[in-house]
Amino acid sequence: MKDTAATVMERCDLLSNITEDAEGICRPYGSQSMREVNNIVSGWMRAAEMSVRQDSIGNLVGRYGGNGEKTLVLGSHLDTVRNAGKYDGILGVLLAVACVEELHAKNRKLPFAVEVVGFADEEGLRFGTTYLGSSVYAGDFDPARLALADRNETTLLRAVRDFGGDPEALVGGGRSGEDLIGYCEVHIEQGPVLEAMDLPVGVVTGIQGQSRIQAGFTGVAGHAGTVPMNGRRDALCAAAEFVLEVERAARAEPPAVATVGEIRALPGASNVIPAETRLAVDLRHPDDVSRVRLRDGLRRRAEDIAKERSCDNSWQVRQETAAIPMDERMTAKLAQAVERAGYPAHRLPSGAGHDAAQLAALTAPAMLFVRCKDGISHNPAESVTKGDVGVALDVLGHFVELLAEN
Ligand code: HGY
Ligand code: MN
Ligand code: MN
Ligand code: MN
């Protein structure tokens, strides 16, 4: 019997060499490496007798089974963060393809079609907003995002065109949900729980809400050698004080988590007092009311710090997603599939965001987590075992058969 789990691991290795950055894995939306990955994954889909298309934003959609049938959607995202690991997103897409390959190898025709989707942008690395791919697929795309610009001032509208997409078709370009049975996403846990419990897989109960904010401070550039310390309007010192404020506020509100993942300071010369800073703030909480309260408190703190330092400040909420529970019925089926594979179905929440949160706008979502070493992710040290990948594949096989039973 072909060792499909080994093939999935080899494919993760192969795709990890396709990147925009010689230093590490980096596949932002619309990049050449995303094109290459789409081409390679399309080939694997076609070899499993799937029809393949790329939708208006560049999601890769493979379909096993006839049109007009009910459809189960499987998948995850193909893009990555900067200096990423090999498995975040990719593993879920390749496990879904492998599940169809096994059905095809057994010449098994389910009473529904299986659609495998590789979403074009979930991390939001290039434009700072997450779920670009799955929001189009789920028919929930906000056209205001087309005006967002990347670091080179290229707008999303232009990037979609360059990637071969159709900006005019993004709104309402999603698929209808009528024919859908549900969506199941397999993803590495990106946390320590399954490893601590010595379990290969776990069933996700829900995805916490998140706010992605671009904050900024504007002061006055000056000569580092001549401007006295009193009276400086140093935009980087204002940003530094705000970063620690973000950490303090989140620590005071467990289980909130908040991160300033990036600071850009201009003009960026060692002997010039920074005049301008831009900060990427990421705020998460399982309870939306608490998250909004924390977000608004931080906005006020940014204003206060700017005033105390005679700076101006800016505050742009780039993206917000509410906390999303997984669908009870689909999750119960997934838990049953885990038990059929011979393991207890441990249920756990997701601190990380996933396309399943966006697909909830379209159909019933469920997620399976795969144990990852030391819970590390968004890091080249990200790793899973072939054994655990084999368990996840076995669970997916049981899952589709359970859905076929009724
Ligand atoms: O940021 C996240 O939660 C996910 O990796 N997109
Ligand atoms: Mn990620
Ligand atoms: Mn991910
Ligand atoms: Mn089995």
Atom number, ligand 1, closest to the C-alpha of residue 89: 5
Alpha-carbon Rg for the chain, nearest whole angstrom, is 22
- Cα(302)–Cα(297) distance, integer angstroms: 9
Place of tokens 């990380």: 352
Which parts of the chain have pLDDT scores under 50? none
Query: Closest ligand to 129 CA?
Result: 1
Are 78 and 89 spatial neighbours (Cβ–Cβ below 8 Å)?
yes
Say if ligand 1 is within 6 A of residue 352 CB.
yes
Nearest to 64 by CA among 9, 117, 11, 8: 117
282 Cα nearest atom in ligand 1: 1
pLDDT at 4: 94
> Which residue type sits at 124?
G
Closest CA to 9 of 383, 397, 401: 383
**CATH ID of 4-207+323-405, from 3.30.565.10, 1.10.760.10, 3.40.50.300, 3.40.630.10:** 3.40.630.10
- Residue-range domain boundaries for the chain: 4-207+323-405, 209-321
The finding on whether 122 has its CB within 6 A of some atom of ligand 1 is yes
Instruction: Report d(CA 3, CA 12) in Å as an integer.
Output: 15
The pLDDT tens digits for 331-380 are 999 999 999 999 999 999 999 999 999 999 999 999 999 999 999 999 99
Q: What was the pLDDT predicted at 173?
A: 74
**Ligand 1 atom 6 nearest Cα:** 123
pTM comes to 0.92
Index of the ligand 1 atom closest to the CA of residue 284: 3
CATH of 209-321, one of 3.40.50.300, 3.30.70.360, 3.40.1390.10, 3.90.550.10: 3.30.70.360
pLDDT the model gives residue 406? 79
Q: Sort 172 into a burial class: Cβ within 10 Å, 0-12 / 13-18 / 19+.
A: exposed
Looking at residue 1, what is its pLDDT? 57
- Which ligand approaches the C-alpha of residue 352 most closely? 1
pLDDT, one tens digit per residue, over 227-263 is: 999 989 999 999 999 999 999 999 999 999 999 999 9
Q: What is the pLDDT of residues 86-112, one digit of tens each?
A: 999 999 999 999 999 999 999 999 999
Counting ligands in written order, the one closest to the CA of 131 is: 1
Cis amide leading into 254 (omega within 30): no
Cα–ligand 1 centroid distance for 354 (angstroms): 6
Max Cα–Cα distance, the chain, nearest Å: 78
